[in-house]
Amino acid sequence: MKIAVVSDVHGNRHAFEAVLDAVAESDCEELWCLGDLVGYGADPDACVTLAREHCAVCLAGNHDLGVTGAIPLEQFSRGAAIAAHWTRETITAETLAYLSTLEPQNLNQAVALYHASPRDPIWEYVLSPLQAELCLDVQAKPVSLIGHSHVALYFSRVPGAAATGETQDDGQQLDLNEGEWLVNPGSVGQPRDGDPRAAWLELDFEQWTAVYHRTEYDIAGAAAAIRAAKLPESLAERLQYGQ
């Protein structure tokens, strides 16, 4: 069975639709989302509607929890808090109700799913080998999928060695058959690894491999929607740089 894995959609309908089209053309049988359906982008209702239609599994990200009121917006950066306030005022009751049903982790699959990390499913950015070591020590299963950092990367560890990892480009493949793994598909709606294309991951449970994918989308359209909503200009500007 092949699963398409996405994370950090952040209200970017243009990117999410492009990824859904790419997934539909793949061999993937299900779509899993690691959270943050809403956040920085201008189409939160549309993204939640798409997730409800297409995602077999969906987690809550910190932005989703901020919008529902489960965590205080004082913990967010200025731009994120502004976007969350706007999202609260914009979304439908149906969207809010769906977001309120989501949790930041799911340990009921063949791999462990966390929005952020095994140590802190809501907030921790796993970007260093030291952080990865600490997370690998406590993760529930040999392979974990994580999001939150908006960077397509992995960390792995084999017995007797320290954790290592690196960022991943379009088409790169991981063999997950041995060792312990933290695998991040990158961000659909706001990549921060220098590649502005929407990121997603193809996970093969028969071969135990993972393949990274990047998909072109209408960045100008997504930026225009952010500007039309009068959200911070930086949220629109950064999309073209993948930062």
Would you list the domain boundaries of the chain? Answer: 2-241
Q: How far apart are CA 110 and CA 223, in angstroms?
A: 37
**The model's pTM:** 0.96
Short-list 93, 110, 94, 100, CA closest to 145: 110
Diameter over CA atoms, the chain: 54
Per-residue confidence (pLDDT) for residue 107, from 0 to 100: 97
Angle at 186 between CA 182 and CA 192, to 5 degrees: 125
Give, for all 243 residues of the chain, the pLDDT tens digit.
999 999 999 999 999 999 999 999 999 999 999 999 999 999 999 999 999 999 999 999 999 999 999 999 999 999 999 999 999 999 999 999 999 999 999 999 999 999 999 999 999 999 999 999 999 999 999 999 999 999 999 999 999 999 999 999 999 999 999 999 999 999 999 999 999 999 999 999 999 999 999 999 999 999 999 999 999 999 999 999 999
196, 240 Cβ separation under 8 angstroms: yes
Q: Was domain 2-241 assigned CATH 3.60.21.10? A: yes
**Residue indicated by tokens 């930041």:** 104
